[in-house]
Structures are given as C-alpha cells and as structure tokens.
A = this chain, B = another copy of it.
Amino acid sequence: MIKIDLTHTINKIPLEAYKQDVKTINKAINNKTGLGNDFLGWTSWPKDYDKEEFERIIKTAEVIKANYDILVVAGIGGSYLGARCAIEALNGLFPTNKTKVIFIGNTLSSNYVHQVLNYLKDKNFAINVISKSGTTTETSVAFRLLKELLISKVGEEAACKAIYATTDKARGALKQEASQKGYESFVIPDDIGGRYSVLTAVGLLPIAVAGCDIRKLMAGAYDAMIEFDNEDIMTNSCYQYAVTRHYLYNCEKSVEMFVTYEPQFTQLGEWFKQLYGESEGKDQKGLLPDSATFSTDLHSLGQFIQSGTPLLFETILMIDEPNYDITIESDKNNLDGLNYLAGKKLSYVNKMAFEGTLSAHVEDGKIPNIVLTLPKMDEYNLGYLFFFFMKACAMSAYLLKINPFNQPGVEIYKQRMFKLLGKPGVK
C-alpha cells in the first residue's frame, strides 16, 4: 500500500548492511524478548483486539451520536493525540459530521479550561475521560470540573449515563469511580503504552463518535501488520523507513521534519512527534521530531530548510488521490496572471508544489528527503499508516539500542511539580 522512495536521500542508504540487525530485531519484537517487552501488545493488536468490546464501542458511539451534540474527551499525551489527529485527518478542519468532538484535560491553562467550560454551559454534551490511573493531574482536574458542570446541568443520574471511562480493566482511581457510579467503561490494555494506543478504545471511541468507520481503520492496521511481519529489509518498506532514518541520524542529521501538504494532517505531525520523540529521546540520543505543513510553512520554515543550518532531513507524506478536488477556471481579465493554470486541478498544482520543493530542497539544498506515498486518506489507509509508523518506531529505537516503550524523563517534571504542589507522599 505505502510506497517509499529512497532516491532523494542524498546519502545512499546501505539497506543490505542492515540485513542481519533487522532480522535480529524483528525476531526480538516477535518473540517479545527486546527491551520493554511488556509493552508489545500493539504488535498483534489488529488481530487480537477484544472483538466484543469493539462492537460495544461502535454501539456506544451510536448512542452518543444519537443523544449528544458534543463529546468532550478528557485525556493527555497518548490519550489525546491519536483521536485528535485521526478525526482531523479524516474529517478535515471544517467537518460536517453531526457530533463534535472537543478536547480538554490536556493542559493546566485556566484560560483554556475556563473557555471550554463556558462554551459547554448551554450545550448538550457527553464526556469520555481517558486515563489509565485516573490520577493524571491535567485530566483529573478537568474531569472534576466537567463532571461538576454536567451534574449541575442534568443531575447526577443523567450525568453518570453521559460519562464514558476509558481506563485500566481492574485497578486505579478511575476504574473504581466508574464501578461505583456505573459509567460505561472501556479498557486501556496493560501491554500497550499511551503513544501506541490509538487503535484501542482510547482512540476508537472518539474516532467512532466523529463518524469515522473504525472497522476500516482496524482493517488497514491488520493489513499493515501482515505486510510488515517480514524480516527482509530489502522488501519491507516499514523497516526501510526505520533504517533510513537511523542511517541519516548517523550521518549527523539530528532533526526529522515530518511534512505533509494537507492542513488537516497537521495534528498527524503532533502524533508523530509524540511517538518518535518519546520512544527515542533517551540516553542523550535520538532524532528531534519536528513537523510542518507545506506549502503553508514554505512561507515560514522554508527558508531555514532550504539554506539554514543543515541539521535536518525531511520525511514527506504524500497522498495520491485527494478526497475533494477543484478545477481552476479561466478569468477574462487575468490580472493575477493565473490563467496558465486554467482547467488544471488544484490537487495537481499542490503536487507540482511538492515536486518543485523536493527538487529545490534536495538538489539545491542538499537536504535528504524520504518520500512516503499513500493512495488515499481514508480510515483504511490511516489505520495502515498508524501501524506503519508504530512498527518503524520500534525498529528505529531498537537500532539505537533504546527501549521504545518507557518514558522515564516525563516522570522528572511530574515529581518536581508534585513536590512544589505539596502532594502527599512526594518528597
């Protein structure tokens, strides 16, 4: 499905030389013997996911769509980015689906939280609170406030029916509260970390509420799982991507700029940044993941990419077929001089912007480019893409000899914040 073009990487990528390493790591992933092997549940998830729960997610989404105008998702990190990026990638930035999905619990900004609560005052909304422990500060604070607002609007009984909890299957504060109050609950599996969780209930419920077909999403992930269960670097595009970024990293490139030509994929860049930054940014190693949306950002970061400090390479995600197209018409005055484009499709112009930029950056700028192409952006291809990036990320981190599944660095700021806030038990 995905095409990878490695002819613009400036450096010739010695795929063959990675043959044995890739084989060994692939085995470690399959046998679950690598670092962080407790968190490899996502590798077989598109086959092993809980089918019963999946059907319940679809039914619940129908109930939410039928009864509420807005679903407020409270979550942070992996409990936020996957759903948001999928919904924007599929529905666009001016969506027409009925039930709006908005996000909270991903910030401690009183300005943001105030505005969301104010906006919800006269709205008919349900809540999906997503937290493994139920004690994540950002999410729990927002959930307390949201719950209070909802109860004041509709009473406790109706509020409890409008709250959906995605959390641990047995333990933790949120699970306990859900059991006590009777919230409908969904499971965050023990062996899938936040940034690999978009295909679990964490992502699936909000994505389904936004009107997207999660069966197709899972079908795409399933096909990617089958396709990339292949230890041969010469034929596995997912591992080729991992090896290429690892090789470029060793060629003194320290930043990977993830680029798309669609504004509705901007949040996909944010998901990508969490996946790679949190998986690889350890032991003073790893590529800094960055992202841009062209041609918009060619009028912003373009100058730096073209001629600034040569510290980055680009990974471009192109889509063959746009979901919508527009033909540029002729204009009798032609003051803007655009008549040379008359009769052309806008998607064609966008593609020429990509080709022109590719040659400007690679030939003039000597900036390595990896080009990935998907046939279309729909649920199937997005599920496929999610799996592609997750599996490539595991391979990449293992090539760096790093555990792709922990995030010890994130705990440091939390502990220091808890201490300042006087949290009981924190020294």
Q: Are A417 and B270 in touch, CB under 8 angstroms?
A: no
Tell which of B299, B303, B409, B423 touches A302, judged by Cβ atoms closer than 8 Å. B409
Tell which of B180, B293, B422 touches A340, judged by Cβ atoms closer than 8 Å. B422
A271 to chain B, nearest CB (A): 9
Residues in chain B near residue A34, CB distance under 8 A: none
Closest to A276 in B: B304
Given the known A-B contacts A300-B277, A301-B274, are A357 and B109 also in contact in the complex, defined by CB atoms under 8 Å?
A: no
Given the known A-B contacts A280-B308, A288-B311, are A111 and B141 also in contact in the complex, defined by CB atoms under 8 Å?
A: no
Q: Are A357 and B282 in touch, CB under 8 angstroms?
A: no
Q: Are A303 and B323 in touch, CB under 8 angstroms?
A: no
Q: Are B359 and A416 in touch, CB under 8 angstroms?
A: yes
Residues in chain B near residue A333, CB distance under 8 A: 177, 180
Q: Does A38 contact B (CB under 8 A)?
A: no
Interface size class of A (residues with CB under 8 A): 35 or more
Tell which of B117, B299, B310, B312 touches A284, judged by Cβ atoms closer than 8 Å. B310
What 1/0 mask marks residues of chain A from 67 to 84 whose CB sits below 8 Å from any chain B CB?
000000000111011000
A372 to chain B, nearest CB (A): 17
A259 to chain B, nearest CB (A): 12
Given the known A-B contacts A304-B280, A420-B356, are A309 and B335 also in contact in the complex, defined by CB atoms under 8 Å?
A: no
Tell which of B140, B364, B410, B420 touches A338, judged by Cβ atoms closer than 8 Å. B140
Q: Does A92 contact B (CB under 8 A)?
A: yes
Q: Are B421 and A341 in touch, CB under 8 angstroms?
A: yes
Residues in chain B near residue A353, CB distance under 8 A: 108, 413, 417
Q: Are A338 and B144 in touch, CB under 8 angstroms?
A: yes
Q: Which of A48-56, A203-211, A232-240, A261-269 forms contacts with chain B?
A: A261-269
Complex Cα spacing A301 to B269, Å: 12
Interface residues of A in 355-405 (CB under 8 A from B): 355-357, 359-361, 364-365
A297 to chain B, nearest CB (A): 8
Q: Does A143 contact B (CB under 8 A)?
A: yes
Please provide the 7 A-B residue pairs with the shortest distance between their CB atoms, ordered closest to farther: A281-B304, A281-B308, A77-B299, A356-B417, A306-B409, A356-B416, A114-B324
Supply 15 further A-B pairs (C-beta < 8 A) apart from A270-B300, A288-B309: A109-B264, A109-B346, A110-B322, A111-B262, A113-B326, A138-B295, A141-B338, A180-B333, A281-B303, A284-B307, A286-B308, A298-B413, A302-B410, A344-B421, A365-B409
A-B CB contact pairs (8 Å), 20 listed: A76-B295, A77-B299, A94-B116, A107-B293, A108-B295, A109-B262, A109-B264, A110-B324, A110-B325, A110-B345, A140-B338, A141-B341, A144-B336, A148-B329, A177-B335, A255-B311, A288-B304, A289-B301, A303-B410, A365-B412
